[in-house]
Chain A
């Protein structure tokens, strides 16, 4: 069964870079039918799409975050990663990684809370 697990620092200082990794197990990240994406959810609020990537490198970013976001993949480790730079308190959220099938998110990680604070 496919499992996704987010990892990374739970606390990031303002103006610094948020870095998270999603490790995929029970299946390969090298898939002709799936993208791999990131979604976030501020505490008590709704879901916001951040961006996605295909295993060979094609990426799509939400225009609202595009200038600050980079998503990359490491096929040798079956992982993909998120970097969000110049963070502020408004970037505090639970960050989820997920598998996309036809742009539906059909498998999710458990999520990891990242707090931006000095």
Chain B
């Protein structure tokens, strides 16, 4: 099973700042990595798939990068609605696995 390790666990930032979240895989997943956003009481929402492709309706301030074992999700300028928990997920091998999440909180 591929383990995904996200860092940091919590990111404290102010609106307008740039956020960079990391996801590291225990073995190469090529570019088969996605990012999800989850707000309290809501289901996760797909943001990025195949490492760098934005899902339908996702604002351009969200971008994904990386390949192999190291990936990043960047939010170029945080909006108030971006404060949430973010998860990465790999589909390189079964079972599908998720990272433990990074919480982006208001500083």
A interface residues with partner B (beta carbon < 8 Å): 46-49, 60-64, 96, 98, 102-106, 108-111
Instruction: List 17 contacting pairs A-B, 8 Å CB cutoff, sorted by A.
Output: A46-B99, A46-B100, A47-B36, A47-B89, A48-B98, A60-B95, A61-B95, A62-B95, A64-B95, A96-B44, A103-B91, A104-B46, A104-B89, A105-B36, A105-B44, A106-B49, A111-B43
Chain B residues closer than 8 Å to A64, beta-carbon distance: 95
Instruction: Tell me which of B55, B94, B95 contacts A106 (CB under 8 A).
Output: B55
Interface string of B83-107 (1 = CB under 8 A from A): 0000101010011111111000000
Category for how many chain B residues contact A:
20 to 34
Chain A residues closer than 8 Å to B101, beta-carbon distance: 46-47
B interface residues with partner A (beta carbon < 8 Å): 1, 32, 34, 36, 42-46, 49, 55, 87, 89, 91, 94-101
Number of residue pairs across A and B with beta carbons under 8 Å? 51
Measured in the bound complex, the distance between the Cα atoms of B42 and A98 in whole Å is: 13
Chain A residues closer than 8 Å to B46, beta-carbon distance: 104-106
Are A47 and B44 in contact (CB-based, < 8 A)?
yes
Chain B residues closer than 8 Å to A109, beta-carbon distance: 43
Measured in the bound complex, the distance between the Cα atoms of B51 and A83 in whole Å is: 33
Are A103 and B43 in contact (CB-based, < 8 A)?
no
Chain A residues closer than 8 Å to B97, beta-carbon distance: 49
Are B95 and A49 in contact (CB-based, < 8 A)?
yes
Measured in the bound complex, the distance between the Cα atoms of B96 and A60 in whole Å is: 10
Instruction: Tell me which of A62, A63, A102, A108 contacts B44 (CB under 8 A).
Output: A108
Chain A residues closer than 8 Å to B89, beta-carbon distance: 47, 104-105
Chain B residues closer than 8 Å to A103, beta-carbon distance: 32, 91, 96
Measured in the bound complex, the distance between the Cα atoms of B47 and A108 in whole Å is: 13
